[in-house]
Structure 1
Amino acid sequence: MEPVFQFPLALPDRGHGNLTQELHQQLRSAILDGRLIAGSALPATRQVASALGIARNTVVSAYDLLIAEGYVTPRPGAKAVVADVAARRDRRGPQRLDAGLEDPRLNPLWRTPFLRPDAPRQLPERCFRLGIPDHRHFPHDVWRRLSAQTLRTWSKTRFGYPPSEGIAELRDAIAQHVAFARAVACVADDVIVTSGAQQAFDLLARLLVTPGQTRVAVEEPGYPPVRAAFAAAGARLVPMPVDEEGLCVEQLPEDVRVISVTPSHQSPTGVALSMRRRRALLDFARQRNAIVIEDDYDGEFRFGGRPLDALQTLDRDALVFYVGTFSKSLFPSLRKGFIVAPAWSRDALITVKHCADSHCDTITQSVLAAFIRDGHLARHVRRMRAIYEERRDALLEGLRGPLAPWLEPIPSEAGLHLAARIRDLGLAPAILSRLPRYAPGAQSIAEYAMSASAHPAITFGYGVIDADEIRMALRAYAVSLAELDAR
């Protein structure tokens, strides 16, 4: 039997779906896609029913729906024909993202280029990509066991709406973890669970910013999503330079009311905020009634001497909001972060969280709480610290050895990435152009800057690349750069 349509129709078996609805939707898609041309006659309902092995009433009902929606035009005494829906397709608007963002109906803020997310880069699995921990060493079996245990012990009371600030077990586990690992003084009531650090920044921006008025100091170069969160809330951003001691506190303008900082491992340079500047920053905030947001995104991974105390630990005036995440210590798709908030802000922050995300998920929170409570997080961090330290040493070995004529490592004692300045500014374009081939995933620090004034430098991640691979890649990179001197 000849097919009634020149394209396949995939209908469910009898009793396994709504045949009328499926036939209607597939024919409608064919009309919108142009596979059924405007003006062409539809096959007779008896012919379609016989060819597809379905009841004629099913076909009649599907045709009636298409007629009612204007996709098909009936003709007395003749076959119905496909309507001209070109105008309808045009009204759907531009399909390209760039074009759609120019639509004047959108809030002008969301048409701002620097707020648009970059398209994901196609990178090999083992590379110098930033911000990604190594999944190969994660205790998957432990996580699966705790997940199964959580589901087995699930009670019907857990099917209700959990508190927006997070379940009590996880907030208590986080409080104990940061007190032990980072000397952050807090209790469970101080902790608000978020969907990663990015939601934490969004909530704090909503809480602390008066649109068009509040001036927020951000590191330059710095972490772009932080800038985006505060810009979206209507803040007036004040880019602040960073040097070998971290944020240049002495240059903060008098009228700044919020300061966002990565004191343990500056993003992206990797430097630590010196103790002198930590105290100066807290003094500045206290004297001007300003707020400090401390982003401690990978502070668990310290190498070398005793880590400097967190700003929150030094704070005696309830000025610091401490933001943490499990994306680096565990895995990004967990989507769990947290804020340790001063007592005076807690109720308001919970209200903001409730408006944005009224109820956190419960299952993953329960698994994470058990993972922390039973000591698995602390053991995993200790194990990964040794692995990452070996990779960091290999990276430093390459920067101080084969790559020394072109790159100078920036001192850093923490985290999952390390930066290096380009020595010869004139060679910077050629050095950076070779990154995708010889050090895929590594990034120019210019990608983190709001202006072009940042000294040329490269940031190398070592979360997902082994030490031997680092050495091999950097040696090849050095051979390539040596060709520049030979020209």
Structure 2
Amino acid sequence: MDLHIVIDPAQPRGEQLLRQLRGLIRSGRLATGAQLPPTRLLAEQLGLARQTVAEAYERLTLEQLIEARRGRGSFVRALPAAEPETPPVAPPRFASAARIAAFEQLPVPLLRFVDNPLARFDFVGGSPDPALFPHEDWRRHLHAAQRQLGQGSAHASPGGLPALREAIAEHVAYARGVRCSPADVIVTQGAQQAFDLLVRVLVGPGEVAAVESPGYPPVQALLQAQGARIAPVPVDDEGLVTDALPAGARLVYTTPAHQFPLGVAMSAARRRALLAWASREGTVIIEDDYDSEFRFEGQPRDSLQGLDGEGRVAFVGSFSKTLAPSLRLGYVIAPPALREALLNARHLTDVHGPLLLQSALARFMQEGAYRRHLRRCMAEYARRRERLMAGFAGPLAPWLRLLPAEAGFHQAALFKPGLAMDAPQLAALARRVDVGLYPLQVFAPEHNGLLMGFGRVTPEGIDAAIARMADLLS
């Protein structure tokens, strides 16, 4: 039997074969009882490995689309009869229907990326390379923490294990110039829980919260869920435009070290202006310092918290970018005046975080393994950044320019003026050649470009991906 199957060498071959055979069966073009070619013969005809064909047949067997008959071969099975449609059941009526609908309609663009499989060369933003995770060191400290589990009390402070709070306070003082004591540290389940606690404590329905525009969507969604009035504040080459801050704002959310998504750093003048404005308005500043441990240019810039002399800045950090997002470990350095309120809010949320992971991380940091890991990652990400910049200065130069970024492992790229280019279309085409691209419009509708995260792509992979992008653009 001759099957009309076309294999594109640039795409995963096994997936192509499986998809096309499945389509032929479900469309009826391969009728019930039809015999499929032997795996060896089909492999020769398509130029595939026999194992690739055998795996596709095995998958179709599991899906009950074909059956293997001993000594005879593989045959198409009868498709199951469609189940009769059941009449739709009306959803129950809730008095809180409007509130439920508001949460259903929250803008959560990052959630769309979670279920999408990564491409071979994927420039997803904010994602570290799993291959760089220090498995041996972490396993050793995790086992030690597990042996001690149960020797202490059944519960811990909502702020986290004392050993970890002490290690975090020491690290942020050394690496970011943050002024705090261990008592100011509240360990959270990722930075997102820190933002949630701060928003719930600081902002009520109808109150004003200022956010960078463009900015980080999950924080905006939290504020929207709280019923706050969101005031977008523009960003330029010096960061947040402080002259555009609204009067009466309860909080300001900003990413001064590495603005998300554009990547610019807030200038010293803007930092001073922001602190002065917050002092006049009585406003709390949330400083999201999500990936500034990785600095590639210039001298380290002082954190806003380190410059703050009045206790107005809540400094939020995360281990998702430096270790792994799956650990769900972050922290907030709470201003003294907010500490008790945030601890109470944390207690009501989940009492405290996972003590086993907190204990392992404390040991990991106290031994110096965390700093060694950061140095290794820094050297590797610097190589990847150099390859990315070389690609945009070379093959991609006719179409795109990278915005400058001193820190972090993503950069924004904008299409050059006058070009009729469409970032979503380019991203869709790039998927066909196994390159994952992310349109900047998801975060910044007014910017036509790409968010280029280089955490998960090797230097050699960056070269290969840029060559494929250049082919598509040309």
Output the TM-score relative to the length of structure 1. 0.75
Change (3 A) 1:398 1:289: same
Q: Is the 8 A contact 2:128 2:456 kept in 1?
A: yes
Q: Which residue of 2 aligns with 1:359?
A: 352
Q: 1:123 aligns with which of 118, 121, 133?
A: 118
Task: Give the secondary structure class of the aligned counterpart of 1:428.
Answer: coil
Contact 2:392 2:401 in 1 (8 A): yes
* One-letter amino acid of the counterpart of residue 370, structure 1: R
1:458 matches 2:450: yes
Structure 2 equivalent of residue 219 of structure 1: 212
Q: Within the alignment, does 1:192 sit opposite 2:186 as a pair?
A: yes
- For residues 77-226 of structure 1, the aligned pairs below 5 Å read 91=89, 93=91, 104=97, 107-115=100-108, 117-118=111-112, 120-124=115-119, 126-158=121-153, 160-212=154-206, 214-226=207-219
How far has the Cα of 1:221 moved from its partner?
Answer: 1.3
- From 462, 466, 471, give the equivalent of 1:470: 462
TM-score of the superposed pair, with normalisation by structure 2: 0.77
Query: In structure 1, what residue type is equivalent to 2:461?
Result: E
- Structure-2 residue corresponding to 1:269: 262
**Which AA in structure 2 matches 1:290?**
T
2:404 aligns with 411
Which string of whole-angstrom CA distances, capped at 9 and with x for unpartnered residues, describes residues 110-159 of structure 1? 1324147326222225421111111212210111111111222334334x
2:120–2:435 CA contact under 8 A, matched in 1: no
The count of aligned residue pairs is: 386
| Secondary structure at the counterpart of residue 247 of structure 2 | coil
SS state of the match for residue 265, structure 2? coil
- Equivalent of 2:232 in 239, 248, 260: 239
CA offset digits 1:191-211 (Å, max 9, x no partner): 001100011111100000021
Whether contact under 8 Å (1:133, 1:328) holds in the other structure is yes
d(CA) in 1 for partners of 2:87, 2:184: 52
Distance in 2 (CA, whole Å) between partners of 1:440 and 1:295 is 29
Cα deviation 1:296-337 (Å, max 9, x = unaligned): 000100002212111001111111000000000000011000
List aligned pairs for 1:30-45, cutoff 5 A.
none
Three-state SS of the structure 2 residue aligned to 1:436 is helix
Q: Pick from 444, 448, 454: which aligns with 2:439?
A: 444
The 1-side partners of 2:98 and 2:470 are apart by 51
Aligned counterpart, 1:257: 250
C-alpha separation between the residues in 1 aligned to 2:341 and 2:249? Answer: 22
Q: Map 1:323-342; keep pairs closer than 5 Å.
A: 323-342=316-335
Gaps of 5+ in 2: 1-83
Q: Which sits farther off after the overlay, 124-133 or 270-279?
A: 124-133
State the 1:90 CA deviation. Answer: 5.4
Q: Distance in 2 between matches of 1:92 and 1:170?
A: 50
In structure 2, what is the equivalent of residue 296 of structure 1?
289
Q: Distance in 2 between matches of 1:438 and 1:406?
A: 19
The equivalent residue for 1:313 is: 306
Whether contact under 8 Å (2:427, 2:436) holds in the other structure is no
1:324-366, CA deviations, whole angstroms, 9 ceiling, x for partnerless residues?
0000000001100000011111011101111112122211100
Over the matched positions of the two proteins, sequence identity in percent amounts to 42
Corresponding residue for 1:382?
375
Shift of 1:433: 4.7
Compute the displacement of 1:169 (Å).
0.8
Alpha-carbon separation, structure 2, partners of 1:205 and 1:184 = 22
Corresponding residue number in structure 2 for 1:400: 393
Shift of 1:431: 4.3
CA deviation after TM superposition for structure 1 residue 218, in Å: 1.0
Task: Please give the secondary structure, in 1, of the residue aligned with 2:127.
Answer: coil
**Which residue identity does 2:472 align to in structure 1?**
S
Contact in 1 for aligned 2:256/2:265 (Cα 8 Å):
yes
Identify which range, 378-387 or 126-135, moves more after superposition.
126-135
Question: Which deviations, in whole Å up to 9, do the C-alpha atoms of 1:230-289 show, x marking residues without a partner?
Answer: 111121111111111111111112232311000111111111111111111111101111
Aligned equivalents of 1:383 and 1:425: distance in 2? 41
Q: Contact 1:128/1:463 (CA < 8 Å) preserved in 2?
A: yes
Structure 1 position 108, deviation (Å): 3.3
Q: Distance in 1 between the 2:305 and 2:340 partners?
A: 19
Q: Distance in 1 between the 2:144 and 2:380 partners?
A: 30
Secondary structure class of the residue paired with 1:156: coil
**2:344 partner amino acid:** T
Q: By how many angstroms is 1:91 displaced?
A: 4.9
- The answer to whether the Cα contact below 8 Å between 1:417 and 1:461 also exists between their aligned partners in 2 is yes
SS at 2:320 equivalent: coil
> Could you tell me which amino acid in structure 2 is paired with residue 423 of structure 1?
K
Query: What is residue 38 of structure 1 aligned with on the other side?
Result: none
Paired residues of 1:129 and 1:440 also in contact (CA < 8 A):
no
Per-residue Cα deviation, 1:43-75 (whole angstroms, up to 9, x for no partner): xxxxxxxxxxxxxxxxxxxxxxxxxxxxxxxxx
**RMSD of the TM alignment (CA)?**
2.3
- Cα distance in 2, alignment partners of residues 461 and 439 from structure 1: 15
Structure 1 position 185, deviation (Å):
0.9
Between the aligned partners of 1:87 and 1:192, the Cα distance in structure 2 is: 52
Deviation, 1:105, is 6.7
Taking structure 1 as reference, are residues 439 and 400 closer, same or farther at Cα in structure 2, changes over 3 Å only? Answer: farther
Q: SS where residue 118 of structure 2 aligns?
A: coil
Larger Rg: 1
